[in-house]
Structure 1
C-alpha cells in the first residue's frame, strides 16, 4: 500500500517550470532518499508534499488524503501525521530545549500555544516531551537554551520535537547539510533508528551519495525538475548516481525558489 503517491505533478513559478510531470510512489514503511543537485526542484517537491506550495496540476495523495486539494482545517489535519526535519533546525534559540520540544504537540491539542507552554502544558504532554528527549539522548540538556547547543545537538532536539507529533510520515529536507561529517552520521543513525522503531515512512533529500547508500531502502534521483533515476539501494551504482550532478542539473533560475524551509529566528516553525 502506497503511503505517498505523486501523479503528473507540475509546479511553475511564473514561466519557470520547476516540477515537470513528476510521478513517484513510496510504500508505507519505506525509507526513500532523494538525490539531486542544488536547484533541481527537491525542496519545491518537499514543500508541495507538506502543502506549503500548491502545484498547478497533478496530485499528491498521502495515506489516502489528497494534499493538493486540502485547505484550512483539512490541511492542518493531514499535516498532523507528517513530521518535518529541517536543514536549519528552526528552533527558538532563546527558549529551552524542553520548551522547543513541547512545540511539537501544538497540532495535537486544542488551544495551540497555551497548552504547550511550560507551566500550562498537561502532565502527559510534559512527560512525553521528556521521553522524546531521552530517546534522542538529550534529556540532560532539557533546561539548556538552544542557542548554547552544537549543530548536531540542535538537530537532535528538532527530531525530538518531530517525535512529539507521533507522525506516520517523515519529510527530512537535507537534515545533515549544516553539520560536520561526524555529527551528520550521528544524526542520520538516530533518525533512521527512530524511523525503524515506529515503522514510519521517510522521504529524505540528501546530497551525499555515501549517506544515501548507507541508509536508504530505495534511491530516487532528480534532475532539472524530473525523476531520472529510481532504484533499490542494492541496485544503485555510483556511476549512475554521480551523473545526477553532471551536465544540465538545474531548473533555470530555480535558485530564487529552491530555498530551505524557513522560520523567523524567534518564532517556532509551523508544525501543525
Structure 2
C-alpha cells in the first residue's frame, strides 16, 4: 500500500510553472530522501502534500484518500496523520518546551486548544508529552522556554511534538538546514531511529549530498519541477547526484502550450 501517491501533479505561481507533471509513489513504512537544487520545486511539493498550497492539476493520494475530493473537515482529519518537521522549527518561542509538545495533540482533542494547555491537560496527555520528550532526550528541559534552547534542541522539541501527534507520515522539509554539521547528524540519526521504531513513512528533503548517501531507503532527485532520478540509496553515487545538481534552472510557462497553462481543479 502506498502512503503517498503523486500522479502528474502541476503547480503554478502566476506565470511560473513550478511542478511539471511530477509523479512519485512512497509505500507505507519507506523513507525517501528528496534532493534538488533551490528552485526545483521541493518545498512546493511539500506544501502541496500537507495542504499549505493547492496544486493545479493531477492527483495526490494520502493513504488512498484523494486530496482534491476531500471536504475541508475531511482534509483536517487527514492532516492529523501527517506530521511536519520544518527547517525553522515553528515552535512557540515564549512558552515552555512541555507546552510546545502538548500542542502536538491539538488535532486529537474535542475542545482543541483548551485541552492542550499544560494547566488543563489530562494526566494521560501530560504523560504522553513527557514520554515524547524523554524519547528525544529533553525531559530535563520540559519547563525551559524554547527560546532558551539551541537549534538542535529546538528541532528535538519539534520531533517530540510530531510524536505527540501520532502521525503516520513525517514530512521533513530540510530539517537540518539551520544546524551545524554535528547537530544535523544527531537530528537525522534521531529522526530515522524514531520513524523506524514506529514504522512511519518519511519524505525528507536535504541539500547535503553526503548525508543523503547515509539515510533512507530511496533517493529521489528533482530538477525543473519533475523527478529525474528515483533509485535505492545503495545504487546512487555521489558523483551522479552532483551531476544532477549542475545546471539547475527554474521553468516558466513560456514553453507551454496555452491549453497546458490552464489550471484545473485545486484542492
Secondary structure of the residue aligned to 1:215 is coil
| Preserved CA contact (<8 Å) 1:50 1:67 | no
Superposed CA offset, 1:205-247 (max 9, x none): 0001111110120000001111101110011111211123211
Please give the root-mean-square deviation of Cα atoms over the aligned residues, in Å.
1.1
Q: Aligned partners of 2:165, 2:118: CA distance in 1, in Å?
A: 17
Match of 1:165 in 2: 165
Secondary structure of the residue aligned to 2:51 is coil
Match of 1:246 in 2: 246
Match of 2:154 in 1: 154
More off after superposition, 243-252 vs 168-177: 243-252
Post-superposition shift, 1:49? 0.5
Matching of residues 101-116 of structure 1 within 5 Å: 101-116=101-116
| Preserved CA contact (<8 Å) 2:152 2:179 | yes
Post-superposition shift, 1:72? 1.4
Unmatched segments (≥5 aa) in structure 2: 254-267
| Preserved CA contact (<8 Å) 1:67 1:78 | no
Secondary structure of the residue aligned to 2:103 is helix
Matching of residues 199-218 of structure 1 within 5 Å: 199-218=199-218
Superposed CA offset, 1:110-157 (max 9, x none): 111101001111110011000000000000000000000000000000
Q: Aligned partners of 2:135, 2:48: CA distance in 1, in Å?
A: 30
Post-superposition shift, 1:70? 2.4
| Preserved CA contact (<8 Å) 2:15 2:252 | no
Q: Aligned partners of 1:45, 1:69: CA distance in 2, in Å?
A: 18
Post-superposition shift, 1:69? 3.0
Superposed CA offset, 1:61-83 (max 9, x none): 01111123324111110001001
| Preserved CA contact (<8 Å) 2:42 2:205 | yes
| Preserved CA contact (<8 Å) 1:51 1:68 | no
Q: Aligned partners of 1:71, 1:134: CA distance in 2, in Å?
A: 37
Q: Aligned partners of 1:228, 1:238: CA distance in 2, in Å?
A: 15
Match of 1:73 in 2: 73
Secondary structure of the residue aligned to 1:46 is helix
| Preserved CA contact (<8 Å) 1:40 1:224 | yes
Superposed CA offset, 1:155-183 (max 9, x none): 00000001001111000000000000000
Match of 2:265 in 1: none
Q: Aligned partners of 1:78, 1:244: CA distance in 2, in Å?
A: 34
Match of 1:260 in 2: none
Whether 2:16 is the aligned partner of 1:9: answer: no
Match of 1:27 in 2: 27
Match of 2:135 in 1: 135
Secondary structure of the residue aligned to 2:165 is coil
Match of 2:47 in 1: 47
TM-score scaled by length of structure 1: 0.91
Match of 1:265 in 2: none
Unmatched segments (≥5 aa) in structure 1: 254-272
Count of matched residue positions in the alignment of Structure 1 and Structure 2: 253
Distance 1:188 1:117, change over 3 A: same
Q: Aligned partners of 2:219, 2:194: CA distance in 1, in Å?
A: 20
